Amino acid sequence: MRTALLILSIAAAGSPTVAERNLVPSLDSEPDVCVDRPAEPEWMQTIGVREAYKRVLVQDIYRAQNMGMIVSSGSCSCETRFPPWEPAETEFRERFAAAERWEMLEASDTYNRRANELRPEAKAICEDEGNW
> Is residue 49 a part of any domain in this protein?
yes
> Is residue 32 a part of any domain in this protein?
no
> Is residue 11 a part of any domain in this protein?
no
> Is residue 11 classed as helix, strand or coil in its secondary structure?
helix
> Is residue 104 a part of any domain in this protein?
yes
The confidence score (pLDDT) of residue 33 equals: 86
> Is residue 25 a part of any domain in this protein?
no
> Is residue 93 a part of any domain in this protein?
yes
Burial class (CB in 10 A: 0-12, 13-18, 19+), 3: exposed
* pLDDT tens digits for range 82-129: 999 999 999 999 999 999 999 999 999 999 999 999 999 999 999 999
> Is residue 9 a part of any domain in this protein?
no
For 97, the domain range is 37-129
* pLDDT tens digits for range 43-90: 999 999 999 999 999 999 999 999 999 999 999 999 999 999 999 999
Nearest to 86 by CA among 51, 124, 43: 43
* pLDDT tens digits for range 17-27: 444 445 555 56
The confidence score (pLDDT) of residue 31 equals: 77
Number of compact structural domains in the chain: 1
Radius of gyration of the chain (CA): 22
> Is residue 62 a part of any domain in this protein?
yes
